[in-house]
Structure 1
Amino acid sequence: MTSQNRPTPPATLEQQIADSLAALEDSDAEQLRAAASYLEALAAWTESASDGEPESDATADASVGEATDATGDVEHPADVPERASVTVKEIAGTTYHYYQWRDGDRIESKTVQQ
């Protein structure tokens, strides 16, 4: 990406946040993606905290309303491989299990409403 195409922060940001973003501008892509992932998780947590819902970080996601077997692992539906990762979210009082796994070069997914 050339310097002409370099993204700029939104003008509506508070100065302190804009300064924090400016400090990140020279970071490598891995560090920027890690920061972005954290900020997405923080935004989700902030939204859920303001709605009176439980926190939604990775630890809380893995424990909300899951069916577990004797070893404490999540029980996967019959058509979902055991190696699939699962994220559990509660939205408007309904619990959803999001399964995702790799099948060769493709990424497969399935959502199950509980």
Structure 2
Amino acid sequence: MTTNDRPRPPSALEQDVRERLAALESRDVETLRAASDYLEELAAWKVASAEAGSGADYGEQSEGEPDPDEYPADVPEQANVSVKEIAGTTYHYYQWREGDRIESKTVQR
């Protein structure tokens, strides 16, 4: 590869992912290699998790997430859930896409 053949993020990626990758372009070589190593390890872990049927793949329920039966009535089952504890109070953050919009709801538990 020559200096004129600068790589670009694949156009098939979602816009937000391409923007995050573009933000890395200004980083030093060591940081880029560390990020690359991490992403390779993460991809291998996801493949191994999917093959093992552990449910740890992206978008699937993992430890700490509520059962779908516990989702609020106005939150779709495909919503991603983040569980955070702040000052001893547990919050469930639900986020999902409706068309071009991202919807969210926070529930104190």
Tell me the TM-score range normalised by the shorter chain: 0.3 to 0.5
Question: TM-score, with normalisation over the residues of structure 1?
Answer: 0.43
Question: TM-score, with normalisation over the residues of structure 2?
Answer: 0.45
Instruction: Compare relative contact order (CA 8 Å, sep 6+) and give the higher one, 1 or 2.
Output: 1
